[in-house]
Structure 1
Amino acid sequence: MNSFFISGIAFLLVFFQNFSDLRNQYEYASKSKKNTEKFYEVLQKANGDSPVLMAYRGAAILLKSRFATNKEERKEQFILGVKTVEQAVSKDENNVEIRLVRLSIQEHTPKFLKYKSNIEEDKKIILEGFNKQNTVLKEYIHRYMAQSKVFTDSEKSKLK
C-alpha cells in the first residue's frame, strides 16, 4: 500500500508539472506563429481528457485559427476551438483555470466574432475562487491580470 501511495504522489507531481508547463506555453503561444504551432502540437500529443486539458486544447485550436490561410479553414478552426473550450467549461463549471482560459480568449477575440459574452461570469468565478487555488496557479492568474484590461485596479489589488 505504501508503494501505491508513493506512485500516486509521483503521478500528481508529474500531472501538475505538466499543467505548469502548459500554462507557460500558453502565455507564449500568442506571441508568434512558431510558438502557437508548438503549443498546438504539444496538446495534440497530450494524453488525457481532463477538462483543464480540454480547455487548453480549445485555446490551441483558436490560436492556430489566426494563422489559417483561407477564410473557411479559419472559421472551422474557430468554431471547433470555441466548442472545445465550452465543453471544458460545461464539464467543470467552477474550475478557475478553465474560466481563466476562456476569459483570456474572449478578451482578445475581435468583437465581430461575437465570442465575448462570458467575460463577467468568468471574472466573477476567478475572483471568488482565487484564494482556494494553489500558489502556482495564483501566480499564473496574477500574471494574466497584470496585463488584462477586464480586471479593475481594485479587483487586482484585492488578490494580492
Structure 2
Amino acid sequence: MNMMIYYGLSLLFATSISLQSNVDQLRKNYLAASQDESICKQEIERIKDSSGESPIEMAYHGAYHMLWAQYLNAPLSKLNSFKKGKKLMDSALQKRYGDPEIHFLRLTIQQHAPGILKYNTNIQEDVDQITKHWESLPSAPVKKQVKDFLTSNQLLHDTQLKKLQI
C-alpha cells in the first residue's frame, strides 16, 4: 500500500513539474511570439500536443492563436485563428476568473487587436483584476513583465501603480 501511495505521489509530482515547465516556456516565449512568426508557430504546435490544459495553458494557447492571426494572409484565416484563440481565452476566464495572468494575456491582445474585431471592451476590467490580485502572480519576472506592459501602455493611475511592487 505504501508503495502505491509513493507511486501516486511521484506521478503527481512529475505531472506538476511537466505542467510548470510547459507554462514557463509559454511565458518565456510570449513576448517574442508577437514579433517572430516561427516562435508563435512553434508554441502553438507544442501546446496543442499537451496532454491536458490547465486554465493558464488554455489562456496562453488562446493568446498564441490570436497572435498567430497577424501572420496569416487570408482575411478568413486571420478571423478563424483569432476566434479560436478568443474561445480558448474565454474558457480559461470562465474556469479561473480573477487570475491576474489570464487577465494580463487577454489585456495584451485587447490592447493591440484591430478595432474592427471589437475585442477591446474589457480593458479596464482586466487592469482592475490584475491590480486586485497582483500578489498571486507566480513570480517576480512575470510581475515585471506585467508591470512593464501596464506602464508602457499607460493603463494605470497613480494609486494602482503604487500597489504594484516587485
Q: TM-score, normalised by structure 2?
A: 0.84
CA distance in 1, matches of 2:50, 2:144: 26
Which SS does the other structure have where 2:71 is aligned?
A: coil
The aligned residue for residue 25 of structure 2 is 21
- Name the structure 2 match of 1:141: 143
The one of 154, 157, 161 equivalent to 1:156 is 161
- Residue from 9, 12, 17 that aligns with 2:16: 12
The residue aligned with 2:51 is 47
Check the 8 A contact 2:107/2:123 in 1, yes or no.
Answer: yes
User: Is 1:125 aligned with 2:129?
Assistant: yes
| Identity across matched positions, percent | 25
Rate the CA distance shift 1:93–1:150 in 2: closer, same or farther, 3 A.
farther
What is the root-mean-square deviation in Å for CA atoms of aligned residues?
Answer: 1.9
Matched residues in 2 for 1:55 and 1:16: separation? 14
Say which SS state the counterpart of residue 80 (structure 1) adopts. Answer: helix
Task: Name structure 2 gaps, 5 residues minimum.
Answer: none
Q: Contact 1:146–1:156 (CA<8 Å) still a contact in 2?
A: no
Checking the alignment, whether the CA contact within 8 Å between 1:107 and 1:119 is kept in structure 2 is: yes
Q: Is the 8 A contact 2:56 2:92 kept in 1?
A: yes
Partner of 2:80: 76
Q: Give the partner amino acid of 1:69.
A: N
Conserved? CA contact 2:92–2:102, under 8 Å: yes
**Contact 2:100-2:136 within 8 A present in 1 as well:** no
1:132 Cα offset (Å): 2.8
Deviation at 1:24, TM superposition (A): 0.6
Largest Rg, 1 or 2: 2
> d(CA) in 2 for partners of 1:146 and 1:28?
15
What TM-score do you get using the length of structure 1 for normalisation?
Answer: 0.86
State the secondary structure of the residue aligned to 2:135.
helix
Alignment partner, residue 66 of structure 1: 70
Residues in 1 aligned to 2:75 and 2:52: alpha-carbon distance in whole angstroms: 31
Secondary structure of residue in 2 paired with 1:86 = helix
Superposition deviation, residue 3 in structure 1? 4.8
Moved over 4 A (4+): none
- Cα deviation code 1:68-127 (max 9, x no counterpart): 121111112222211221111112112222111111111111223210111111111111
